[in-house]
Amino acid sequence: TMYSVNAANGVENWNVTVSTTIYSSSPAVYDSTVYIGDDSGKVSAYSVNGTYKWSASVGGKVRASPLVDIDNNRIVVTSSGANGNITALNLSSGDIEWQTNIGGTSASVALSSEGYVVATAADINMVDFDGNKLWNYPLGKTFGGGAPTVVGDIIFAVTNEASSRLVAIDMTGKLLKEVALTPANWAVYSATFIDGVLYVASDNGHIYAFSDVEDITDDNPWLLVGGLIGVVLIAAIGLVYWNGKKKGT
């Protein structure tokens, strides 16, 4: 069920039954329309007063939040499973414009100047605005993690493995830098960029803050803010959120 709640007083405005299961697809809102995915493999659109508009089946399970690409008048969403895809849907009608197989993922899409960036358990993919896969960067043996984060012309991704890494890739798929998060642990999170600082969380109970992320070269090393190996306490976890949800606004 999807609920609309008054932001000022917490009173429920309306609710609608979307599907048997909505796993982790948060709604995206644009131009008085709410978009959401579900485990039946559908993306549905509702007006902000709860009126049903359309739904489209994209295959697999939609466990990512839709990305609203205003410039191209479309919703872009990923689906999970062996036959998972990245799919572009028309904002108004829900018609599928194109669909590209990427092997399936639960991570949301990130928008870049070159196209759509999406992470699977195995790699980072760049898909252009026409649905053509431009390149992929292998991440090694990992498990599904958070959505990529795009800062200027740099793509950041956090791997989800026993010793998780923060990886920086350029728009051509070239590795710029990577750093292991210590102490070693799993990390099912997206990086968050605020006021020139990149924040990363890990299951080890820490948040890391990195500077110099907009000018990463071999001669300009990544630095923890303040030059510390220490990290910000996990109480700051509110700074970390899914990039795909942020991009949907």
pLDDT band with cut points at 50, 70 and 90 for residue 142: confident
DSSP annotation string for the chain: -EEEE-TTT--EEEEE---S---S---EEETTEEEEE-TTSEEEEEETTS-EEEEEE-SSB--SPPEEETTTTEEEEE-BSTT-EEEEEETTT--EEEEEE-S--SSPPEE-SSSEEEE-SSEEEEE-TTS-EEEEEE--S-B--PPPEEETTEEEEE-BSTT-EEEEEETTS-EEEEEE-SS--------EEETTEEEEEETTTEEEEEE-TTS-BTTB--EEGGG-SS-EEGGGGGG---HHHHHT-
Q: What does the pLDDT look like over 200-249, one tens digit per residue? A: 999 999 999 998 776 665 555 566 664 333 344 333 333 333 334 444 44
Whole-prediction pTM value? 0.86
